[in-house]
Structure 1
Amino acid sequence: MRLDALTDDLPEMSTHRAVLTCVAESAQAADWTAPTLRRLLMGLRQVLDEHPDGQPVRLSRVRAVLGATPGSRLARTVLDGLSLLIDDTVPAIRTWIERQCDALPAGYRADVLAWLLVLAEGDERTRPRSTATIYAYFGRVRPHLLAWSETRGQLREITEDDVSQALNKLRGHALTGTFTSLRSLFQFAKRRRLVFTDPTRRLSVGRAPSRTLLPMTAEEIGAVQAAAVTPAQRLIVALAALYAARAKAIRELTLDDIDLGRHRIRLGGAEHRLSELAHNALVTWLKHRHRQWPHTHNRHVLVSWASAAGTGPVSNYYLSWHLLLQGVQLEQIRGDRILQEALATGADPLHLVMAFNLSPETAISYANIARSLLERPIETTEAPPEL
């Protein structure tokens, strides 16, 4: 489409003209279709016309007009890059927290709301926690709050015996996870003087039981092979299976990290020889990438219809959509690769550090697992700690 049709009435040096031009150029570089681009530009022009030239645009208005689409994300990226975007929206996690707390008994509502908001936003003593942590903490605490509410009207009435009785019904990771969550709640409440005493202060449940880690079975490997059928899926699996690459390293891999001629690849700060399998997977994907987005300026190896219009990596959800929702666990594949290397090299932790850029603690843990498997191949073993 002709951009002039939407910008003819705008001054040459207009900020609105600059925004529309930048969005159009980015979308065209990503090979968006003309109808899609036209809808995006018309919607964005509608948003811009509501604001004086050069004045920031409200994010809520962009979302209301353009919806949750790649075009909306592109428009937000351009506006933000030009310092023309005001985020006036309520974070999704805050909306979730408020909705969940509204359903709690009245005596607990305000205290739990304050606790969850500090977890989400942090304060002078606490860093913000991930949404996954907040979901997990609240999910473990909520059933006990509802049970206690039948005899206890508020947090300050809950005793050490109440907490002990609740914990005594649990085992394993449910026990340690629930204790951690309750301790977080009551420590917060004690600091804010919402309770007189912390009922978890003198309690202890010990360490969480060891998880198990064994080599992937033939059936599990076959399931991964059956699920990974697209060029993107095969490349992601190959990088995890051959180089034990984490999801973050795969997402951030750029064209500059690959030397097909020398058969070299740099992943997560470590350089590797590019095997024939990985070479073929890369070539297949890059051909597909060029067919789909021949004009994109994005230097990341993996691109999507959304990221091709910009320069950033694909989102975490991109990997989940391509793998996790298909039943493929990337971390399981990565762990299996490290374990197989440890088994093949005599459980040498130094070799694992050099081969996969692991921390010494993680390398030693994998080496211990491999040594235990070599000595007692039928026993389950302790999993390595998170990096």
Structure 2
Amino acid sequence: MEEFGRYRRESRPDYTKNARTLTYLVYWLGAETAFFESDVYDLAELDANLAAAPVCKFLRDRGLLVEDPDLHEDADLVWIETTLAALPELVASEVATWVAVLHGQGRRESEPRGYDGIRRYLSTLQPILTAWTTDGVTTLREITAADAKTALDGLAGHARRGLAIALRSLFRALKRERVIFSDPTRDLPVGDLKSVPRSVPSDLLAGLLDETKSPLGRLVIALVAIHALRGHEISALHTADLDLARGTLEVRRGLLRHTLYLEELTHQLAADWLTHRQQRWPGSLNPHLLVSQKSAVDPDHPPVSANLLRKAIPRGLTMEGLRQDRILNEAAESADPLKLMRLFGITEQTALRYVTTAHPECTAKLPR
């Protein structure tokens, strides 16, 4: 317990829940035996004043923990496997092939997607897959172009677009893996829902950083409002991606990397956050740049949640709104799509869309 007290002071100023948990374990089981990870978590579930993750990390570092693989399973992967188990065997095998392709395990090398994104795709497909199997479909080879189009009947807007994209992804992957002979979604119209980017009112932007006091929140605002990063890109940042000496930050975008050159404000906010993190969680081994109270000591080293990032943005604003406003402002200043592509790492089509919105007089069709 004295050793854990020193560890606790190094990793976090106050963690009485964990001290209480370790006290119970040592009292009942002794201090010279290995502890089962499942027992630690079962004990923590008995009382809200007990906690498990930091205690398990402390025991693991000292070779006193017998780990339980079931406690480290990916929740999204478990959901995917459960969903596949509810489908007929052959259909489940075909959908599992598609999941493997999305995860970068297909015949051809491709950018791997995370199980969280695959889960969103599969949740979109789940109702139509269930409907098809209920109607007697035993293999996706039986699906025709008419069936695919019928699946979109009655849908509109983002719901229709989302299902169309998921269907095309599914059958395109099966065709590439030679599971099916022809792709019934090859001519399936997806639609174009690209909306016009909107700017954020200036009164909401005024004093944006002053409204946020936490070092994490101020850094998140800078990365969104100045460098136009998306939420999932921010949560995926690693500490090793930040180079304060060179003033750069590497952004992970699948197999690609986009380099941000930090101006003085963001550089200072990043340095403030690293100082705060070191003082608050000096013993944290989480490789992610941003950590929370839970993720800093979680042995699985997860990224921060999307909800935590959203809470960092002042009320009345959204991360996507701030990002669009930043790109739109740059488009209004330069009217150069190539500059937008280099600065924000966006595609040619996206850059042209922002320039068209900012300068409609330059891109409008002239009267005949």
Listed one character per residue, the Cα deviations across residues 57-100 of structure 1 (whole Å, up to 9, x for unaligned) are 65544433345999533344456667766452154234323544
AA partner of residue 121 (structure 2): Y
2:334 counterpart residue number: 345
CA distance in 2, matches of 1:86, 1:330: 38
- Relative distance call for 1:211 and 1:130 in structure 2 (3 A) is farther
> Is the contact made by 1:44 and 1:66 (CA closer than 8 Å) also made in structure 2?
no
2:184 counterpart residue number: 200
> Is the contact made by 2:336 and 2:355 (CA closer than 8 Å) also made in structure 1?
yes
- Relative distance call for 1:153 and 1:242 in structure 2 (3 A) is closer
2:93 counterpart residue number: 114
> Is the contact made by 1:27 and 1:309 (CA closer than 8 Å) also made in structure 2?
no
* Counterparts of residues 12-23 of structure 1 (less than 5 Å): 21=3
1:36 to 8, 12, 17: 17
TM-score (norm 1): 0.63
CA distance in 2, matches of 1:366, 1:307: 34
Shift of 1:154: 2.9
> Is the contact made by 2:310 and 2:318 (CA closer than 8 Å) also made in structure 1?
no
Listed one character per residue, the Cα deviations across residues 100-152 of structure 1 (whole Å, up to 9, x for unaligned) are 456x5xxx433454355451676453876423333332233233234445543
Tell me the C-alpha RMSD between the 2 structures: 5.1
Report the secondary structure of 2:136's partner residue. coil
Shift of 1:313: 8.0
Matched, 1:64 2:54: no
CA distance in 1, matches of 2:202, 2:315: 18
Shift of 1:200: 1.4
2:118 to 124, 134, 137: 134
- Relative distance call for 1:172 and 1:76 in structure 2 (3 A) is same
> Is the contact made by 1:241 and 1:334 (CA closer than 8 Å) also made in structure 2?
yes
> Is the contact made by 1:74 and 1:306 (CA closer than 8 Å) also made in structure 2?
no
> Is the contact made by 2:94 and 2:179 (CA closer than 8 Å) also made in structure 1?
no
Report the secondary structure of 1:316's partner residue. coil
TM-score (norm 2): 0.66
CA distance in 2, matches of 1:220, 1:138: 38
CA distance in 2, matches of 1:192, 1:254: 36
Shift of 1:317: 0.9
CA distance in 2, matches of 1:256, 1:97: 34
AA partner of residue 142 (structure 1): Q
Listed one character per residue, the Cα deviations across residues 7-56 of structure 1 (whole Å, up to 9, x for unaligned) are xxxxxxxxxxxxxx4x6544211334263342242356479869955xxx
Max radius of gyration: which structure? 1
AA partner of residue 340 (structure 1): N
1:96 to 76, 79, 82: 79
- Relative distance call for 1:49 and 1:186 in structure 2 (3 A) is farther
CA distance in 2, matches of 1:347, 1:204: 34
Shift of 1:245: 4.7
User: Percentage identity across aligned positions?
Assistant: 23
- Relative distance call for 1:294 and 1:59 in structure 2 (3 A) is closer
Structure 2: give runs of 5+ residues left out of the alignment.
251-258
AA partner of residue 35 (structure 1): T
Deviates more, 1:162-171 or 1:219-228: 219-228
- Relative distance call for 1:29 and 1:144 in structure 2 (3 A) is same
2:264 counterpart residue number: 274
